Amino acid sequence: MKKSINLRSMAAQAIEQVVEKGQSLSTVLPPLQHKVSDKDKALLQELCFGVLRTFSQLEWLINKLMSRPMTGKQRTIHYLIMVGFYQLLYTRIPPHAALAETVEGAVAIKRMQFKGLINGVLRQFQRQQEELLAEFAEQDARYLHPMWILKRLQAAWPQQWQAIVEANNERPPMWLRVNRQHHSRDEWLSLLEESGMTGHIHPRYPDAVRLETPAPVSALPGFDQGWVTVQDASAQGCVELLAPQNGETILDLCAAPGGKTTHILEAAPQAAVMAVDVDAQRISHVYDNLKRLRMKADVKVGDGRFPAQWCGDTQFDRILLDAPCSATGVIRRHPDIKWLRRDSDIAELAQLQSEILDAIWPHLKSGGTLLYATCSILPEENSEQIRAFLARTPDAQLDGTGSAQTPGIQNLPGATEGDGFFYAKLIKK
Protein backbone atom coordinates (compact mmCIF):
# COMPACT_ATOMS: atom_id res chain seq x y z
CA MET A 1 0.00 0.00 0.00
CA LYS A 2 1.08 3.56 -0.69
CA LYS A 3 1.65 5.61 2.43
CA SER A 4 -0.68 8.56 2.97
CA ILE A 5 2.40 10.75 2.56
CA ASN A 6 1.97 10.40 -1.21
CA LEU A 7 -1.68 11.41 -1.33
CA ARG A 8 -0.84 15.10 -1.82
CA SER A 9 1.48 14.41 -4.75
CA MET A 10 -1.08 12.00 -6.26
CA ALA A 11 -3.78 14.67 -5.97
CA ALA A 12 -1.46 17.26 -7.56
CA GLN A 13 -0.72 14.94 -10.49
CA ALA A 14 -4.43 14.17 -10.99
CA ILE A 15 -5.32 17.88 -11.03
CA GLU A 16 -2.50 18.54 -13.49
CA GLN A 17 -3.94 15.86 -15.80
CA VAL A 18 -7.35 17.57 -15.70
CA VAL A 19 -6.23 21.19 -16.11
CA GLU A 20 -3.25 20.77 -18.44
CA LYS A 21 -4.23 17.66 -20.43
CA GLY A 22 -8.04 18.00 -20.52
CA GLN A 23 -8.64 14.60 -18.88
CA SER A 24 -11.83 14.21 -16.84
CA LEU A 25 -11.46 13.51 -13.12
CA SER A 26 -13.69 10.42 -13.48
CA THR A 27 -11.02 8.98 -15.83
CA VAL A 28 -7.94 10.07 -13.86
CA LEU A 29 -9.00 9.36 -10.26
CA PRO A 30 -10.08 5.66 -10.15
CA PRO A 31 -6.66 4.20 -11.16
CA LEU A 32 -5.01 6.33 -8.44
CA GLN A 33 -7.57 5.24 -5.83
CA HIS A 34 -6.70 1.59 -6.55
CA LYS A 35 -3.18 2.32 -5.29
CA VAL A 36 -4.20 3.53 -1.82
CA SER A 37 -5.88 2.04 1.25
CA ASP A 38 -9.64 2.33 1.65
CA LYS A 39 -9.38 5.02 4.30
CA ASP A 40 -7.12 7.10 2.04
CA LYS A 41 -9.43 6.80 -0.99
CA ALA A 42 -11.88 9.30 0.51
CA LEU A 43 -9.16 11.84 1.34
CA LEU A 44 -7.66 11.59 -2.15
CA GLN A 45 -11.10 12.19 -3.63
CA GLU A 46 -11.74 15.11 -1.26
CA LEU A 47 -8.44 16.77 -2.24
CA CYS A 48 -9.01 16.37 -5.99
CA PHE A 49 -12.66 17.45 -6.00
CA GLY A 50 -12.03 20.20 -3.48
CA VAL A 51 -9.12 21.78 -5.37
CA LEU A 52 -11.12 21.76 -8.62
CA ARG A 53 -14.18 23.20 -6.87
CA THR A 54 -12.16 26.12 -5.41
CA PHE A 55 -9.58 26.34 -8.21
CA SER A 56 -10.13 30.06 -8.98
CA GLN A 57 -9.34 30.98 -5.38
CA LEU A 58 -6.27 28.75 -5.09
CA GLU A 59 -4.89 30.04 -8.40
CA TRP A 60 -5.43 33.63 -7.28
CA LEU A 61 -3.56 32.94 -4.01
CA ILE A 62 -0.59 31.40 -5.83
CA ASN A 63 -0.38 34.42 -8.14
CA LYS A 64 -0.36 36.73 -5.09
CA LEU A 65 2.29 34.79 -3.18
CA MET A 66 4.71 33.79 -5.95
CA SER A 67 6.65 36.21 -8.11
CA ARG A 68 6.63 33.96 -11.17
CA PRO A 69 4.61 30.87 -12.17
CA MET A 70 6.00 27.33 -12.23
CA THR A 71 6.29 26.09 -15.82
CA GLY A 72 7.11 22.93 -17.75
CA LYS A 73 8.05 19.92 -15.62
CA GLN A 74 7.82 22.01 -12.44
CA ARG A 75 4.08 22.54 -13.03
CA THR A 76 3.20 19.66 -10.67
CA ILE A 77 4.66 21.78 -7.83
CA HIS A 78 2.13 24.52 -8.71
CA TYR A 79 -0.72 22.04 -8.16
CA LEU A 80 0.94 20.60 -5.04
CA ILE A 81 0.93 24.10 -3.48
CA MET A 82 -2.79 24.34 -4.38
CA VAL A 83 -3.38 21.07 -2.52
CA GLY A 84 -1.60 22.64 0.47
CA PHE A 85 -3.78 25.77 0.36
CA TYR A 86 -6.93 23.65 0.08
CA GLN A 87 -6.08 21.63 3.19
CA LEU A 88 -5.34 24.78 5.21
CA LEU A 89 -8.57 26.49 4.09
CA TYR A 90 -11.14 23.73 3.82
CA THR A 91 -10.20 20.60 5.78
CA ARG A 92 -9.88 19.65 9.42
CA ILE A 93 -6.36 18.29 8.88
CA PRO A 94 -4.17 19.99 11.53
CA PRO A 95 -2.16 22.75 9.78
CA HIS A 96 1.25 21.33 10.86
CA ALA A 97 0.31 17.92 9.36
CA ALA A 98 -1.06 19.48 6.14
CA LEU A 99 2.15 21.46 5.76
CA ALA A 100 4.50 18.55 6.47
CA GLU A 101 2.64 16.10 4.20
CA THR A 102 2.50 18.61 1.32
CA VAL A 103 6.21 19.40 1.57
CA GLU A 104 6.95 15.65 1.58
CA GLY A 105 4.85 15.38 -1.60
CA ALA A 106 7.79 17.01 -3.44
CA VAL A 107 9.98 14.06 -2.41
CA ALA A 108 7.42 11.55 -3.76
CA ILE A 109 7.57 13.15 -7.23
CA LYS A 110 11.37 13.51 -7.10
CA ARG A 111 11.34 17.31 -6.83
CA MET A 112 13.13 17.53 -3.47
CA GLN A 113 14.76 20.85 -4.39
CA PHE A 114 11.29 22.51 -4.07
CA LYS A 115 10.64 21.49 -0.45
CA GLY A 116 11.83 24.87 0.85
CA LEU A 117 9.74 26.79 -1.70
CA ILE A 118 6.54 24.88 -0.88
CA ASN A 119 7.12 25.31 2.86
CA GLY A 120 7.83 29.05 2.42
CA VAL A 121 4.73 29.76 0.30
CA LEU A 122 2.38 27.84 2.61
CA ARG A 123 3.80 29.53 5.74
CA GLN A 124 3.54 32.93 4.12
CA PHE A 125 -0.11 32.16 3.34
CA GLN A 126 -0.71 31.26 6.99
CA ARG A 127 0.77 34.59 8.10
CA GLN A 128 -1.21 36.69 5.61
CA GLN A 129 -4.37 34.57 5.43
CA GLU A 130 -6.77 37.15 6.83
CA GLU A 131 -5.83 40.04 4.55
CA LEU A 132 -5.50 37.78 1.49
CA LEU A 133 -8.99 36.35 1.97
CA ALA A 134 -10.42 39.85 2.54
CA GLU A 135 -8.87 41.01 -0.75
CA PHE A 136 -10.06 37.88 -2.57
CA ALA A 137 -13.66 38.56 -1.46
CA GLU A 138 -13.62 41.63 -3.76
CA GLN A 139 -12.47 39.72 -6.88
CA ASP A 140 -14.60 38.23 -9.69
CA ALA A 141 -12.80 34.96 -8.99
CA ARG A 142 -14.72 34.71 -5.68
CA TYR A 143 -17.58 33.02 -7.59
CA LEU A 144 -15.22 30.09 -8.30
CA HIS A 145 -16.34 29.88 -11.95
CA PRO A 146 -14.56 30.84 -15.18
CA MET A 147 -15.77 34.21 -16.50
CA TRP A 148 -17.35 32.76 -19.67
CA ILE A 149 -19.66 30.51 -17.61
CA LEU A 150 -20.55 33.41 -15.29
CA LYS A 151 -21.46 35.63 -18.25
CA ARG A 152 -23.67 32.94 -19.77
CA LEU A 153 -25.42 32.29 -16.45
CA GLN A 154 -25.98 36.02 -15.90
CA ALA A 155 -27.48 36.38 -19.39
CA ALA A 156 -29.71 33.29 -19.12
CA TRP A 157 -30.71 33.64 -15.46
CA PRO A 158 -30.44 37.32 -14.41
CA GLN A 159 -32.43 36.71 -11.18
CA GLN A 160 -31.07 33.26 -10.27
CA TRP A 161 -27.44 33.19 -11.41
CA GLN A 162 -25.98 33.79 -7.92
CA ALA A 163 -28.08 31.00 -6.40
CA ILE A 164 -26.96 28.69 -9.24
CA VAL A 165 -23.30 29.54 -8.62
CA GLU A 166 -23.72 28.93 -4.88
CA ALA A 167 -25.36 25.55 -5.53
CA ASN A 168 -22.56 24.63 -7.96
CA ASN A 169 -19.96 25.35 -5.26
CA GLU A 170 -21.63 23.09 -2.68
CA ARG A 171 -21.06 19.38 -2.19
CA PRO A 172 -23.87 17.53 -4.00
CA PRO A 173 -26.68 15.79 -2.12
CA MET A 174 -26.83 11.98 -2.42
CA TRP A 175 -30.02 10.89 -4.19
CA LEU A 176 -31.12 7.28 -4.50
CA ARG A 177 -33.68 5.53 -6.69
CA VAL A 178 -35.69 2.78 -5.03
CA ASN A 179 -36.31 -0.20 -7.35
CA ARG A 180 -40.10 -0.47 -7.40
CA GLN A 181 -39.80 -4.12 -8.55
CA HIS A 182 -38.56 -4.95 -5.02
CA HIS A 183 -40.09 -2.38 -2.64
CA SER A 184 -42.18 0.75 -2.64
CA ARG A 185 -40.22 3.85 -1.73
CA ASP A 186 -41.86 4.01 1.71
CA GLU A 187 -41.08 0.34 2.45
CA TRP A 188 -37.43 0.89 1.59
CA LEU A 189 -37.34 4.13 3.66
CA SER A 190 -38.39 2.04 6.68
CA LEU A 191 -35.48 -0.34 6.03
CA LEU A 192 -33.14 2.65 5.75
CA GLU A 193 -34.35 4.02 9.10
CA GLU A 194 -33.92 0.58 10.71
CA SER A 195 -30.27 0.69 9.61
CA GLY A 196 -29.85 4.04 11.40
CA MET A 197 -30.00 6.44 8.43
CA THR A 198 -32.46 9.17 7.50
CA GLY A 199 -33.92 9.74 4.03
CA HIS A 200 -36.15 12.43 2.53
CA ILE A 201 -38.62 11.95 -0.31
CA HIS A 202 -38.93 14.09 -3.45
CA PRO A 203 -42.25 15.92 -4.04
CA ARG A 204 -42.42 14.98 -7.76
CA TYR A 205 -40.41 11.81 -8.37
CA PRO A 206 -41.94 8.73 -6.73
CA ASP A 207 -38.79 6.58 -6.51
CA ALA A 208 -36.42 9.26 -5.22
CA VAL A 209 -34.88 9.38 -1.73
CA ARG A 210 -32.28 11.91 -0.57
CA LEU A 211 -29.95 10.74 2.19
CA GLU A 212 -29.62 13.18 5.07
CA THR A 213 -25.90 12.28 5.18
CA PRO A 214 -24.14 10.66 2.20
CA ALA A 215 -23.06 7.07 2.90
CA PRO A 216 -21.08 4.34 1.11
CA VAL A 217 -23.31 2.12 -1.07
CA SER A 218 -22.26 -0.89 1.02
CA ALA A 219 -24.25 0.62 3.92
CA LEU A 220 -27.50 0.89 1.90
CA PRO A 221 -30.10 -1.85 2.54
CA GLY A 222 -30.14 -4.30 -0.39
CA PHE A 223 -27.76 -2.39 -2.67
CA ASP A 224 -26.07 -5.61 -3.86
CA GLN A 225 -29.47 -7.21 -4.43
CA GLY A 226 -30.51 -4.32 -6.68
CA TRP A 227 -33.04 -2.77 -4.29
CA VAL A 228 -31.63 0.72 -4.74
CA THR A 229 -29.43 2.68 -7.16
CA VAL A 230 -27.50 5.93 -6.74
CA GLN A 231 -29.08 8.40 -9.18
CA ASP A 232 -29.80 12.12 -8.94
CA ALA A 233 -33.46 13.09 -8.57
CA SER A 234 -33.46 15.18 -11.76
CA ALA A 235 -32.13 12.26 -13.78
CA GLN A 236 -35.04 10.21 -12.37
CA GLY A 237 -37.41 12.84 -13.77
CA CYS A 238 -36.61 11.56 -17.29
CA VAL A 239 -38.39 8.24 -16.80
CA GLU A 240 -41.25 9.90 -14.94
CA LEU A 241 -41.92 12.06 -18.06
CA LEU A 242 -41.13 9.32 -20.60
CA ALA A 243 -43.79 7.08 -18.93
CA PRO A 244 -42.61 3.77 -20.46
CA GLN A 245 -45.16 0.93 -20.74
CA ASN A 246 -44.83 -2.85 -20.82
CA GLY A 247 -44.78 -4.31 -24.31
CA GLU A 248 -43.34 -1.19 -25.94
CA THR A 249 -40.13 -0.91 -27.95
CA ILE A 250 -38.05 1.81 -26.29
CA LEU A 251 -34.74 3.44 -27.22
CA ASP A 252 -32.41 4.96 -24.63
CA LEU A 253 -30.02 7.01 -26.77
CA CYS A 254 -26.72 8.29 -25.30
CA ALA A 255 -27.42 5.75 -22.57
CA ALA A 256 -24.10 5.35 -20.70
CA PRO A 257 -23.64 4.71 -17.81
CA GLY A 258 -27.08 3.08 -17.88
CA GLY A 259 -28.93 4.64 -14.93
CA LYS A 260 -31.90 5.63 -17.09
CA THR A 261 -31.88 2.31 -19.00
CA THR A 262 -32.35 0.40 -15.76
CA HIS A 263 -34.94 2.91 -14.51
CA ILE A 264 -36.99 2.32 -17.69
CA LEU A 265 -36.86 -1.44 -17.00
CA GLU A 266 -37.88 -0.95 -13.36
CA ALA A 267 -40.92 1.03 -14.54
CA ALA A 268 -41.75 -1.30 -17.47
CA PRO A 269 -40.01 -4.69 -17.00
CA GLN A 270 -41.73 -6.16 -20.07
CA ALA A 271 -40.56 -3.40 -22.43
CA ALA A 272 -38.01 -4.20 -25.14
CA VAL A 273 -35.25 -1.67 -24.44
CA MET A 274 -32.33 -0.80 -26.72
CA ALA A 275 -29.50 1.16 -25.04
CA VAL A 276 -27.07 2.93 -27.39
CA ASP A 277 -23.98 5.05 -26.70
CA VAL A 278 -21.16 6.28 -28.91
CA ASP A 279 -18.49 5.63 -26.25
CA ALA A 280 -17.37 1.99 -26.23
CA GLN A 281 -15.57 2.41 -22.88
CA ARG A 282 -18.55 3.94 -21.10
CA ILE A 283 -20.92 1.31 -22.52
CA SER A 284 -19.25 -1.21 -20.18
CA HIS A 285 -20.96 0.63 -17.29
CA VAL A 286 -24.36 -0.04 -18.90
CA TYR A 287 -23.58 -3.78 -18.76
CA ASP A 288 -22.44 -3.42 -15.12
CA ASN A 289 -25.69 -1.69 -14.12
CA LEU A 290 -27.86 -4.24 -15.95
CA LYS A 291 -25.94 -7.10 -14.31
CA ARG A 292 -26.28 -5.73 -10.77
CA LEU A 293 -30.04 -5.26 -11.25
CA ARG A 294 -30.41 -8.60 -13.11
CA MET A 295 -31.96 -6.98 -16.18
CA LYS A 296 -31.64 -7.41 -19.94
CA ALA A 297 -31.44 -4.80 -22.69
CA ASP A 298 -30.12 -4.74 -26.25
CA VAL A 299 -26.89 -2.75 -25.72
CA LYS A 300 -25.07 -1.27 -28.73
CA VAL A 301 -22.20 1.08 -29.50
CA GLY A 302 -23.46 3.60 -32.04
CA ASP A 303 -23.52 7.25 -33.11
CA GLY A 304 -26.86 9.00 -32.62
CA ARG A 305 -26.41 10.86 -35.91
CA PHE A 306 -26.43 7.62 -37.92
CA PRO A 307 -29.18 5.42 -36.45
CA ALA A 308 -29.57 3.24 -39.56
CA GLN A 309 -26.11 1.81 -38.76
CA TRP A 310 -27.26 0.29 -35.46
CA CYS A 311 -31.06 -0.07 -35.62
CA GLY A 312 -31.76 -0.44 -39.36
CA ASP A 313 -35.30 0.81 -39.97
CA THR A 314 -36.62 -0.04 -36.47
CA GLN A 315 -39.40 2.21 -35.21
CA PHE A 316 -39.71 2.92 -31.48
CA ASP A 317 -42.77 3.64 -29.33
CA ARG A 318 -40.67 5.88 -27.07
CA ILE A 319 -37.24 7.44 -27.33
CA LEU A 320 -35.26 8.94 -24.46
CA LEU A 321 -32.59 11.21 -25.92
CA ASP A 322 -30.28 12.24 -23.07
CA ALA A 323 -28.34 14.49 -25.43
CA PRO A 324 -24.60 15.21 -25.17
CA CYS A 325 -24.31 18.63 -23.54
CA SER A 326 -22.15 21.09 -21.61
CA ALA A 327 -23.12 19.42 -18.28
CA THR A 328 -23.44 22.91 -16.74
CA GLY A 329 -26.26 21.57 -14.53
CA VAL A 330 -24.04 19.02 -12.77
CA ILE A 331 -20.99 21.16 -11.90
CA ARG A 332 -21.40 20.42 -8.18
CA ARG A 333 -20.97 16.69 -8.98
CA HIS A 334 -18.20 17.22 -11.54
CA PRO A 335 -16.31 20.44 -10.67
CA ASP A 336 -13.75 19.63 -13.38
CA ILE A 337 -16.41 20.64 -15.95
CA LYS A 338 -15.60 24.28 -15.15
CA TRP A 339 -12.02 23.78 -16.36
CA LEU A 340 -12.62 21.23 -19.15
CA ARG A 341 -15.31 23.13 -21.07
CA ARG A 342 -14.69 26.11 -23.36
CA ASP A 343 -17.09 28.85 -24.43
CA SER A 344 -16.81 27.66 -28.04
CA ASP A 345 -18.06 24.17 -27.01
CA ILE A 346 -21.63 25.43 -26.55
CA ALA A 347 -22.30 26.16 -30.25
CA GLU A 348 -20.63 22.87 -31.26
CA LEU A 349 -22.75 20.90 -28.78
CA ALA A 350 -25.95 22.64 -29.91
CA GLN A 351 -25.12 21.67 -33.50
CA LEU A 352 -24.52 18.03 -32.49
CA GLN A 353 -27.80 17.94 -30.52
CA SER A 354 -29.80 19.22 -33.51
CA GLU A 355 -28.16 16.64 -35.83
CA ILE A 356 -29.08 13.79 -33.45
CA LEU A 357 -32.65 15.07 -33.05
CA ASP A 358 -33.17 15.26 -36.82
CA ALA A 359 -31.59 11.83 -37.38
CA ILE A 360 -33.56 9.94 -34.72
CA TRP A 361 -37.00 11.54 -35.24
CA PRO A 362 -37.84 9.33 -38.30
CA HIS A 363 -37.32 6.27 -36.04
CA LEU A 364 -40.19 7.33 -33.75
CA LYS A 365 -43.58 5.71 -34.49
CA SER A 366 -46.51 7.93 -35.35
CA GLY A 367 -48.15 8.86 -32.03
CA GLY A 368 -44.91 7.99 -30.22
CA THR A 369 -43.10 10.04 -27.53
CA LEU A 370 -39.57 11.45 -27.65
CA LEU A 371 -38.19 12.90 -24.43
CA TYR A 372 -35.29 15.27 -25.05
CA ALA A 373 -33.19 15.78 -21.90
CA THR A 374 -29.89 17.44 -20.99
CA CYS A 375 -28.00 18.08 -17.75
CA SER A 376 -27.42 21.65 -18.99
CA ILE A 377 -28.89 24.95 -17.79
CA LEU A 378 -28.04 26.93 -20.96
CA PRO A 379 -30.93 27.92 -23.28
CA GLU A 380 -28.88 27.31 -26.45
CA GLU A 381 -28.90 23.58 -25.64
CA ASN A 382 -32.40 23.50 -24.22
CA SER A 383 -35.40 25.75 -24.93
CA GLU A 384 -33.79 27.36 -28.01
CA GLN A 385 -32.83 23.93 -29.35
CA ILE A 386 -36.39 22.62 -29.02
CA ARG A 387 -37.97 25.81 -30.40
CA ALA A 388 -35.82 25.47 -33.54
CA PHE A 389 -36.64 21.75 -33.85
CA LEU A 390 -40.39 22.39 -33.60
CA ALA A 391 -40.13 25.14 -36.24
CA ARG A 392 -38.50 22.80 -38.78
CA THR A 393 -40.41 19.59 -37.91
CA PRO A 394 -44.11 19.84 -38.88
CA ASP A 395 -45.14 16.52 -37.29
CA ALA A 396 -43.54 17.31 -33.89
CA GLN A 397 -45.71 18.66 -31.11
CA LEU A 398 -44.85 19.69 -27.55
CA ASP A 399 -46.67 17.65 -24.91
CA GLY A 400 -47.33 19.38 -21.58
CA THR A 401 -43.76 20.60 -21.07
CA GLY A 402 -43.61 24.38 -21.41
CA SER A 403 -45.08 26.59 -24.13
CA ALA A 404 -44.28 27.38 -27.78
CA GLN A 405 -42.33 30.47 -26.63
CA THR A 406 -40.40 28.71 -23.85
CA PRO A 407 -40.60 24.99 -24.58
CA GLY A 408 -39.51 22.46 -21.97
CA ILE A 409 -39.07 22.28 -18.20
CA GLN A 410 -35.83 23.59 -16.66
CA ASN A 411 -34.70 22.39 -13.24
CA LEU A 412 -31.97 24.44 -11.58
CA PRO A 413 -29.57 22.90 -9.02
CA GLY A 414 -30.54 23.42 -5.37
CA ALA A 415 -29.26 22.25 -1.98
CA THR A 416 -32.15 19.82 -1.40
CA GLU A 417 -33.17 19.59 -5.06
CA GLY A 418 -31.85 17.57 -7.97
CA ASP A 419 -29.19 18.72 -10.41
CA GLY A 420 -29.74 21.23 -13.21
CA PHE A 421 -31.73 19.38 -15.88
CA PHE A 422 -33.90 20.18 -18.90
CA TYR A 423 -36.72 18.10 -20.38
CA ALA A 424 -38.97 18.54 -23.43
CA LYS A 425 -41.60 15.91 -24.25
CA LEU A 426 -42.42 15.68 -27.95
CA ILE A 427 -45.21 13.69 -29.63
CA LYS A 428 -45.16 12.66 -33.27
CA LYS A 429 -48.46 13.76 -34.77
Please list the pLDDT of the chain residue by residue as tens digits (429 residues).
334 458 999 999 999 999 999 999 999 999 999 999 888 999 999 999 999 999 999 999 999 999 988 888 899 999 999 999 999 999 999 999 999 999 999 999 999 999 999 999 999 999 999 999 999 999 999 999 999 999 999 999 999 999 999 999 999 999 999 999 999 999 999 999 999 999 999 999 999 999 999 999 999 999 999 999 999 999 999 999 999 999 999 999 999 999 999 999 999 999 999 999 999 999 999 999 999 999 999 999 999 999 999 999 999 999 999 999 999 999 999 999 999 999 999 999 999 999 999 999 999 999 999 999 999 999 999 999 999 999 999 999 999 999 988 999 999 999 889 999 999 999 999
Of 257, 268, 193, 254, nearest to 229 (Cα)? 257
Whether the Cβ atoms of residue 429 and residue 397 lie closer than 8 Å to each other: yes
Q: What is the 3-state secondary structure (H, E, C) of 133-163?
A: HHHHCCCHHHHCCCHHHHHHHHHHCCCCHHH
The residues annotated as belonging to the active site are: 375
Q: Give the C-alpha separation, 131 to 192, whole Å.
A: 46
Of 415, 336, 419, nearest to 170 (Cα)? 415
The four Cα atoms 308, 318, 381, 385 give a dihedral, to 10 degrees, of 80
Q: Give the C-alpha separation, 315 to 132, whole Å.
A: 61
Q: Return the H-helix or E-strand segment holding 168.
A: helix 161-168
* R_g over Cα of the chain: 23
Whether the Cβ atoms of residue 429 and residue 395 lie closer than 8 Å to each other: yes
Residue 398 C-beta-side C-alpha neighbours within 13 Å: 20
Q: Give the C-alpha separation, 252 to 242, whole Å.
A: 11
Whether the Cβ atoms of residue 225 and residue 183 lie closer than 8 Å to each other: no
Question: Reduced to 3 states, what is the DSSP secondary structure of residue 60?
Answer: helix
Q: Give the C-alpha separation, 332 to 337, whole Å.
A: 9
CB under 8 Å, gap of 24 or more: what pairs does 211-216 form?
211/173, 211/174, 211/175, 211/176, 214/173, 214/174, 215/174
Residue type at position 31: P
Q: Model's pTM, two decimal places?
A: 0.95
